[in-house]
Structure 1
Amino acid sequence: GVAGQLPVLALLVAVPWLRGRGVSAGALLGAFTYLVQSLLPALHTLMSALGAAGARLLVVLDRILGPGPDATSTPAHACEAGTAGNHGRVQEHGTGVRAAGDAGHPVRRAAVPAVDLRSVTLSYGARAEPVLDSLDLRVAPGEHLAVVGPSGIGKSTLTRLVAGTLAPSRGEVRVAGRVVTGRPAVELAALRVLVPQEAYVFSGTVADNLAYLNTDVRRAELEAAVRVFGLGPLVERLGGPDGPVRPAELSPGERQLVALVRAYLSPAPLLLLDEATCHLDPASEARAEEVLARRPGTLVVVAHRLSSAVRADRTLVLDGERAECGTHDELLALSPLYRDLTGHWHA
């Protein structure tokens, strides 16, 4: 308000004094025209920008420096398993967890879960709304779990927490019975492999890229992995396993296939795929996930397509308020969001 009115008022007040000093009426009219047409719009734009930036800064400072949220508040991510009355927890479904590739026969639960989240909360700032709130999740060894939900809901955050690259605000994350927060990178690499959306490929030979996480892999195993993932044409184009790799010459989908084969050959018992197949066509994605599901160990996939959820043993649905976990058929009955995502509507 001051920026918009003060210059005009000041000139009006100064008119008698200026006229007494010999300033002409035309010069005063020109000054008024300049103020109204040029200076005032510029000042208005400047003050609006400063005001908006200042308001955002105050909100950020309040969240960082202010007191934390009430610990007794209702969790935003209450989770429910396949049966009612199980708020706050996502556990193994039913009497057993189906092993990948053996959907018809439940197996006995293992004593130590492959992934175990205990009341995990993650907030980016003391006053910020939690991305994940009091989330409990247990994934059995050998299980194939898909994670779905809208963009920005916390799916990638969940994989980073499990991978140990992000520490929770509260709660505990365990992989194979071991707390991952604060664990050295060498120990984390032996527990899990995280494949992000943007796959990393480095200059070197094809074999160097594929065996990066398992330098002891035999050439026969490497070649068999290339075949099952359908990477043979690319390897031949590059000159075989000993051919040079120039990352800039690979398409995003080819880089993702290289990263998936690398993860497949890793000895780590847990694979985390954070939309790591988004650049693949549906057929290549299905083949890659089926091969990874047959691999000994546990598979957690942040799904790029809902077909990934149908292929999984169980699916975790995040919607920002609660979490639902179950099989495809169970979630169609339990989760309105899952029905919307899959195109199913129930009366």
Structure 2
Amino acid sequence: AQRALARWAAVRTLAVATAGQLPVFLLLASTPWLLGQGVTAGALFGALTYILQALLPALHTLMTVLGAAGARLFVVLDRLTGPVPGSPAVSGGKPAPDPLSATATVPVPVEWVRPPAAGETAALELRRVRVAYGPGARAVLDGLDLTVEDGEHIAVVGPSGIGKSTLLQVAAGVLTPDRGEALLSGRPVASRPSSELAALRALIPQEAYVFSGTLRDNLRYLRPDACRSDVDDSVRALRLEPLVERVGGLDRPVRPDALSLGERQLIALARAHLSPAPLLLLDEATCHLDPVAEARAEHALRARPGTLVVVAHRLSSALRADRVLVLDGTRARCGTHEELLVRSALYRDLVGHWNDVRR
């Protein structure tokens, strides 16, 4: 990279020297002829002054700007026109070797999770999933295998930036993996239309979205045909009665900027509770709730028919799950809380950190 920049700087310096100094030499060399043609010495001196004081600095600035912008442009064009990482580049008529071939270093997958038995269909399956953000970037998820059974409650834990949100986005079909595939109810996510995906899963992000409609419309956003009794059941399950009373009822418009972050999350969780989707994916969707409200929300979502996958940020959330998936960037482990305390050093560190915060 330094050699490339040095070559670019040399070209720029040569261009500035040529464009800036050549007019000076031409003017000086043609001075006798210009004087013979009637041009005064004052006019020649003014032209020389203009070249030295105005033209040369302007050319220098222009080439400097073009040099910086040109370098960035060449980098962008190289990224756009270069081969896509993981694609079979052709060299000498033969495809490039597959980075996941037997001769390559195969990423370590998640510990084996029991596959569905004959006749069963898992709620969610991830098969050898690999995701990297950008060419040459280190993979966030690499060779990840996971099976989540119907009706199961899974908590996903790990350090910040390790790939927890990425995992949920792949499971929801929002993000297409570079390799591998995600399956919902036995069928690949990529083959399902968006309308079908909306009926199968609901992804609730950390920043809950509330629009400027009535509270009832906000709750029925994922299920517009929900009847009044179903909406009331979700309100009771998530204990939204104080919020309903404060805004003046379910049919009164809400102002999103007048709601706290916790109230927005409660609305989004009640929306998920009312949703017909059998798979709920919570990406730290309870981080602005107190522990009691968080426990109540998770119990309500677990009580509804379906499967629950939660990115946990408290130890209590992991303890409520049937199994815990630990992402550590090298080897993902999955098991119960007691099993992971024995098998995962990272999980023990996280539990210790959570206990220190709680104290």
Give the TM interval when normalised to the shorter protein.
0.7 to 0.9
Deviations 1:239-277 (A, max 9, x none): 222323344443333222111112112333221112222
Counterparts of 1:284 and 1:34 in 2: how far apart (Å)? Answer: 70
The answer to which of 267-276 and 119-128 deviates more is 119-128
- Residue of structure 1 in register with 2:170 after alignment: 161
TM-score (norm: length of structure 1): 0.74
- Residue of structure 1 in register with 2:209 after alignment: 200
- Residue of structure 1 in register with 2:77 after alignment: 57
Counterparts of 2:155 and 2:119 in 1: how far apart (Å)? Answer: 20
Q: RCO (CA 8 Å, sep 6+): is it higher in 1 or 2? A: 1
Shift of 1:146: 1.5
Asked if 1:47 corresponds to 2:67, the answer is yes
- Secondary structure at the residue paired with 1:57? helix
- Residue of structure 1 in register with 2:302 after alignment: 293
1:218/1:298 Cα in 2 relative to 1: closer, same or farther (>3 Å)?
same
- Residue of structure 1 in register with 2:311 after alignment: 302
1:71-82 matched pairs, under 5 angstroms: 71-72=100-101, 73-76=104-107, 78-80=109-111
Deviations 1:177-236 (A, max 9, x none): 343322233433332222223333344432232234445655455334323423222111
Figure out how many residues of one structure are paired with residues of the other and give that number: 321
1:70/1:209 Cα in 2 relative to 1: closer, same or farther (>3 Å)?
same
Shift of 1:115: 1.7
- Residue of structure 2 in register with 1:70 after alignment: 99
1:13/1:141 Cα in 2 relative to 1: closer, same or farther (>3 Å)?
closer
Counterparts of 2:60 and 2:329 in 1: how far apart (Å)? Answer: 44
Counterpart of 1:76, as a letter, is P
1:127/1:91 Cα in 2 relative to 1: closer, same or farther (>3 Å)?
farther
- Residue of structure 2 in register with 1:235 after alignment: 244
Counterparts of 2:45 and 2:146 in 1: how far apart (Å)? Answer: 81
User: Please, which runs of 5 or more residues in structure 1 have no aligned partner?
Assistant: 81-88, 93-107
CA contact (8 A) 2:326 2:334 kept: yes
Deviations 1:80-139 (A, max 9, x none): 2xxxxxxxx3448xxxxxxxxxxxxxxx99933222222333456787654433221111
Counterparts of 1:113 and 1:126 in 2: how far apart (Å)? Answer: 33
- Secondary structure at the residue paired with 2:165? helix
- Residue of structure 2 in register with 1:4 after alignment: 13
- Secondary structure at the residue paired with 2:282? strand
Counterparts of 1:343 and 1:60 in 2: how far apart (Å)? Answer: 46
CA contact (8 A) 1:110 1:140 kept: no
Counterparts of 1:52 and 1:321 in 2: how far apart (Å)? Answer: 34
1:12/1:291 Cα in 2 relative to 1: closer, same or farther (>3 Å)?
same
Give me the CA root mean square deviation.
Answer: 3.8
Which of residues 230, 235, 260 in structure 2 aligns to 1:251? 260
The structure with the greater share of residues assigned to helix is 2
Counterpart of 1:223, as a letter, is D
- Secondary structure at the residue paired with 1:64? coil
- Secondary structure at the residue paired with 2:82? helix
- Secondary structure at the residue paired with 1:78? coil
- Secondary structure at the residue paired with 1:67? coil
User: Please, which runs of 5 or more residues in structure 2 have no aligned partner?
Assistant: 1-9, 32-40, 90-97, 355-359
Counterpart of 2:268, as a letter, is A
Asked if 1:183 corresponds to 2:183, the answer is no
Counterparts of 2:213 and 2:50 in 1: how far apart (Å)? Answer: 73
Identity %: 53
CA contact (8 A) 2:220 2:271 kept: yes
CA contact (8 A) 1:63 1:128 kept: no
1:206-217 matched pairs, under 5 angstroms: 206-214=215-223, 217=226
Counterparts of 1:61 and 1:172 in 2: how far apart (Å)? Answer: 26
Counterparts of 1:305 and 1:42 in 2: how far apart (Å)? Answer: 56
